[in-house]
């Protein structure tokens, strides 16, 4: 086996950095407290609890004061630069677990491991450069040293996927002369749509696994806590762990000291940190008070800040249950949350957390997450744009508002002035979204979702939309003014009156114009939604009825649903042609395997994306040049009784015979005649033999 020349390589790299006037930190030297702490907290390269020591650490600082950490790992044996699989750094095995053999043996893999520690466990850094360097003798006789480099870039916006920067033969890209070109290269690196979808799928599976483990831990350790309070604990702990850059430091595990004082116990420390976090997120005082009141029951009134009486007798029983739980959240949940902050995070938490909730049997179908691609479909059907005012009367985790917000911000790309664009986006977040949610546990998830995605949760209200909400802003600068809604999106509680259509009727009555899109039990449109379906037609027009796949909520609910689209503010005219579409084949194949990845449970097996695009073009823009749904689309009128809204009630059955029908009948008749002739012939032969 070749002798390692790692020390020689390390010395050479340090000399090169010195020549380039680049400051660096050696293996055991502190780079700063935050990164040092992250490297200590992260699993070691071998998977244990030992510390992580990159061979060399440094910062690249641009003229714009952008400070990018660089983690350098060095090896000194031929073939030890990088271990890749399908072109990607192989730091995870097929089960999604850390591949510690690769991490410890290959330079780039080790550097990526350190980079992930920074992205997962620091607050201040959203990007890291991982640099693997390997050296070996070209010729053992001449002792000529050959060096090879692997420059990779990781960014939270790219869900921390290591992306190759370029093939460099030395460190000159770090020099002042070439730094701008180097930074320009990393700023062009982005995820393909396929990469993003694959990463999110893996993160979804990972977060579900780890949330299930956390729930089991809470079940085993926190013996006396209400299962629904677990959601409040998780939400509050994620808020406390976030902090606000340059304003509020994240809560550290060592800040929880297990004291019993009214103002110094672990529960109070959590609440104070969460309160500071919410204040610097510019939430209205009313919203902060409401959230804190909900969280105090879990963090203070539950007495989980006490050291005994609530947990099993295990190691570290000098720690409060809150501290033990927080350690689990910091280690297993927070890294995934940070990666998912570029996506609909609560939607991904929601699917797992709903298993924690105690929900009455008649409300099981109410607590079901609308699939993200269906949410986006409904936003597209409503033609949401930057000037829309969108509300949702049963907000849940906020998925409809998040999708609408993304569409509104995308539409802002047409604004040429950067200042005007920034102002418009701020206005969208602060004033153009409003949601109402009755359940406190789910409401907290929605708050968390919208705060972490850095949008305006100011108008996310914790209320009963049927009894307490009057259609007005209730907080902030526009308090008591009417919310000028022109888009309504909803997946209502199906256990409510009219299968949930009571929510639709109440909301549409408060709107003067716009569109409304609802996914609801299909039979609500065939009489079960009365009297609300009839009342809706008095002030709104039914534009489309879309029969959705029967297994849309596979594993969650067996309800047959439909999407109903309305034009608000114009009473329905009996001469109005309504579009009826059978969308039961949307191109996806679904399963409900509990431990399977998202891609296993949802597969695009028949041009799903093209089918969804065709549906939007047909319903929202009246395109009738159909490929997939030519035989699944009819236009017909409805009466004003509110009971004939389903596709099956308007499906045309063509009774006119075609040439193909005639040929089929003739063929079947001839086959029957031949069969009879053969049968008679056989009978005759059998008769002769008998004689």
- What does the radius of gyration of the chain's CA atoms come to, in whole angstroms? 31
Do residues 444 and 580 both lie within one domain? Answer: yes
Length of the chain counted residue by residue: 691
Q: How many domains, in total, are found in the chain?
A: 4
Do residues 206 and 181 both lie within one domain? Answer: no
Within a domain: 252: yes
Residue 371's pLDDT is 84
What whole-number distance in Å separates Cα of residue 133 and Cα of residue 170? 10
The average pLDDT across 530-545 equals: 97
Residue 95 structural domain = 6-190
What whole-number distance in Å separates Cα of residue 576 and Cα of residue 587? 30
Percentage of the residues of the chain whose pLDDT score is greater than 70? 87
The average pLDDT across 124-132 equals: 94
Do residues 241 and 161 both lie within one domain? Answer: no
Residue 555's pLDDT is 60
Task: Mark out the alpha helices in 281-398 (DSSP H runs).
Answer: 285-296, 321-328, 334-340, 345-353, 372-381
* pLDDT of 1 over the 80 cut: no
Within a domain: 633: no
Within a domain: 616: no
Do residues 326 and 374 both lie within one domain? Answer: no
**Cβ contact 662:669 at 8 Å:** no
Within a domain: 625: no
Do residues 558 and 416 both lie within one domain? Answer: yes
Torsion, Cα 303 308 311 314, to 10 degrees, reads 150
Do residues 154 and 219 both lie within one domain? Answer: no
Do residues 564 and 662 both lie within one domain? Answer: no
Confidence bin at 429 (pLDDT 50/70/90)? confident
Copy the structure tokens of residue 281: 């997120």
Copy the structure tokens of residue 372: 């993200």
* pLDDT of 240 over the 70 cut: yes
Phi, psi of 154 (to 5 degrees): -125, 135
As a whole number, the mean pLDDT across the chain is 86
What whole-number distance in Å separates Cα of residue 274 and Cα of residue 235? 10
* pLDDT of 652 over the 60 cut: yes
Residue 398's pLDDT is 82
- Tens of pLDDT, residues 448-473: 877 776 655 668 888 899 998 999 99
Within a domain: 245: yes
Within a domain: 359: no
Phi, psi of 61 (to 5 degrees): -120, 120
What whole-number distance in Å separates Cα of residue 601 and Cα of residue 472? 41
What whole-number distance in Å separates Cα of residue 146 and Cα of residue 450? 51
**Cβ contact 269:304 at 8 Å:** no
Angle subtended at Cα 123 by Cα 73 and Cα 356, rounded to the nearest 5 degrees: 110
Could you write out the DSSP letters of every residue in 463-514?
S-TTTT--SB--SSTTTTSBP---EEEE---TTSGGGGHHHHHHHHHT-SSE
pTM here? Answer: 0.77
- Tens of pLDDT, residues 141-188: 767 889 999 999 999 888 899 999 999 999 999 999 999 999 999 999
Within a domain: 234: yes
Do residues 184 and 200 both lie within one domain? Answer: no
- Tens of pLDDT, residues 565-606: 999 999 999 999 999 999 999 999 887 665 555 556 778 899
Report which secondary-structure segment, H or E, holds 608: helix 608-621
The average pLDDT across 348-372 equals: 63
In the block, tokens 């010195």 appear at 18
What whole-number distance in Å separates Cα of residue 163 and Cα of residue 149? 14
Do residues 138 and 170 both lie within one domain? Answer: yes
**Adjacent-strand bridge partners of 383:** none
Q: Which three-class secondary structure string do you get for 525-591? A: HHCCCCCHHHHHCCCEEEEEEEECCCCCCCCCCCCCEEEEEEEECCCCCCCCCEEEEECCCCCEEEC
**How far does CA 384 lie from the centroid of its chain?**
20
Phi, psi of 318 (to 5 degrees): -80, -10
Domain of 388: which CATH number? 3.40.50.150
Residue 178's pLDDT is 93
Do residues 29 and 169 both lie within one domain? Answer: yes
Residue 686's pLDDT is 47
Decide which of 157, 190, 223 is a domain's last residue.
Answer: 190
Strands 390-392 vs 487-490: parallel, antiparallel or unpaired: parallel
The average pLDDT across 288-295 equals: 87
Decide which of 190, 216, 234 is a domain's last residue.
Answer: 190
Copy the structure tokens of residue 521: 């039990």
Do residues 377 and 525 both lie within one domain? Answer: yes
Strands 540-547 vs 578-582: parallel, antiparallel or unpaired: parallel
Burial class (CB in 10 A: 0-12, 13-18, 19+), 299: buried
Count CB atoms within 10 A of the CB of residue 382: 24
Q: Which residues contact 287 (CB under 8 A, 6 or more apart)?
A: 278, 447, 457, 458, 460, 475
Residue 424's pLDDT is 94
In the block, tokens 């396929």 appear at 194
- Tens of pLDDT, residues 336-345: 887 776 555 6
Which of 84-93, 229-238, 452-461, 535-544 is predicted least confidently? Answer: 452-461
- In the three-class reduction of DSSP (H, G, I as helix; E, B as strand; rest coil), residue 368 is classed as coil
**Cβ contact 325:222 at 8 Å:** yes
* pLDDT of 286 over the 90 cut: no
Report which secondary-structure segment, H or E, holds 436: strand 433-437
* pLDDT of 68 over the 80 cut: yes
Confidence bin at 683 (pLDDT 50/70/90)? low
What whole-number distance in Å separates Cα of residue 535 and Cα of residue 188? 54
Do residues 378 and 279 both lie within one domain? Answer: no
Within a domain: 100: yes
Decide which of 164, 190, 216 is a domain's last residue.
Answer: 190
């Amino acid at each position: 086996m070749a002798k390692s020349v790692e020390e020689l390589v390390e010395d050479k790299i340090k000399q090169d950095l010195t020549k380039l006037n680049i400051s660096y930190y050696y293996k055991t030297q502190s780079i700063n407290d935050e990164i040092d702490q992250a490297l200590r907290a992260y699993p070691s390269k071998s998977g244990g609890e030992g510390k992580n020591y990159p061979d060399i650490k440094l910062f690249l600082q641009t003229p714009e004061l952008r400070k990018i950490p660089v983690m350098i790992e060095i090896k000194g044996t031929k073939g030890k630069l990088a271990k890749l699989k399908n072109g990607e750094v192989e730091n995870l095995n097929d089960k999604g677990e850390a591949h510690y053999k690769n991490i410890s043996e290959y330079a780039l893999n080790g550097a990526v491991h350190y980079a992930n520690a920074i992205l997962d466990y620091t607050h201040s850094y959203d990007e890291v450069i991982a640099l693997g360097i390997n050296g070996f003798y070209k010729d053992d006789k001449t002792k000529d040293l050959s060096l090879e480099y692997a420059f990779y870039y990781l960014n939270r916006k790219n869900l921390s996927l290591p992306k190759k920067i370029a093939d460099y033969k030395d460190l000159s890209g770090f020099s002042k002369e070439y730094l701008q070109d180097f930074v320009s290269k990393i700023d062009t690196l982005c995820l393909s749509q396929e990469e993003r979808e694959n990463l999110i799928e893996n993160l979804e599976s990972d977060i579900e696994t780890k949330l299930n483990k956390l729930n089991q831990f809470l079940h085993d350790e926190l013996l006396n806590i209400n299962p629904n309070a677990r959601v409040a604990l998780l939400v509050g702990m994620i808020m406390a762990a976030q902090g606000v850059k340059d304003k509020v430091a994240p809560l550290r595990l060592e800040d929880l000291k297990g004291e019993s004082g009214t103002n110094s116990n672990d529960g109070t420390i959590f609440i104070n940190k969460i309160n500071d976090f919410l204040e610097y997120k510019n939430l209205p005082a009313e919203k902060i008070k409401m959230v804190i009141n909900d969280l105090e029951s879990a963090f203070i009134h539950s007495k989980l800040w006490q050291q005994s009486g609530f947990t099993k007798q295990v190691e570290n029983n000098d720690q409060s249950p809150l501290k033990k739980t927080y350690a689990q959240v910091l280690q297993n949940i927070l890294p995934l949350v940070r990666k998912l902050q570029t996506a609909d995070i609560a939607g991904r938490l929601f699917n797992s957390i709903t298993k924690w909730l105690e929900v009455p049997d008649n409300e099981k179908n109410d607590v079901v997450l609308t699939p993200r691609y269906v949410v986006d479909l409904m936003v597209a059907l409503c033609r949401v744009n930057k000037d829309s005012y969108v509300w949702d009367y049963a907000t849940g985790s906020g998925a409809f508002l998040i999708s609408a917000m993304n569409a509104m911000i995308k539409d802002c790309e047409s604004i040429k002035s950067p200042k005007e664009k920034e102002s418009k986006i701020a206005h969208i977040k602060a004033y153009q979204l409003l949601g109402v949610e009755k359940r406190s546990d789910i409401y907290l998830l929605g708050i968390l979702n919208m705060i972490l995605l850095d949008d305006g949760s100011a108008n996310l209200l914790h209320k009963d939309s049927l009894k307490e909400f009057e259609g007005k802003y209730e907080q902030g600068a526009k308090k008591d003014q009417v919310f000028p809604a022109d888009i309504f999106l909803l997946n209502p509680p199906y256990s409510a009156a009219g299968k949930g259509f009571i929510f639709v009727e109440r909301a549409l009555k408060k709107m003067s114009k716009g569109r409304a899109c609802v996914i609801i039990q299909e039979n609500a449109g065939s009489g079960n939604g009365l009297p609300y379906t009839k009342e809706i037609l008095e002030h709104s027009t039914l534009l489309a009825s879309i029969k959705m796949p029967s297994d849309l909520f596979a594993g969650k609910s067996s309800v047959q649903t439909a999407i109903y689209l309305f034009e608000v503010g114009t009473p329905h005219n009996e001469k109005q042609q309504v579009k009826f579409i059978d969308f039961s084949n949307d191109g996806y194949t679904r399963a409900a395997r509990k431990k399977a990845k998202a891609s296993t449970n949802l597969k695009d097996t028949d041009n799903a994306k093209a089918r969804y695009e065709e549906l939007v073009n047909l319903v929202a823009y009246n395109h009738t040049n159909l490929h997939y749904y030519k035989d699944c689309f009819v236009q017909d009128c409805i009466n004003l009784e509110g009971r004939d809204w389903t596709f099956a009630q308007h499906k045309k059955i063509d009774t006119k015979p075609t040439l193909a029908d005639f040929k089929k009948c003739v063929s079947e008749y001839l086959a029957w005649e031949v069969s009879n002739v053969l049968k008679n012939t056989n009978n005759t032969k059998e008769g002769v033999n008998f004689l």
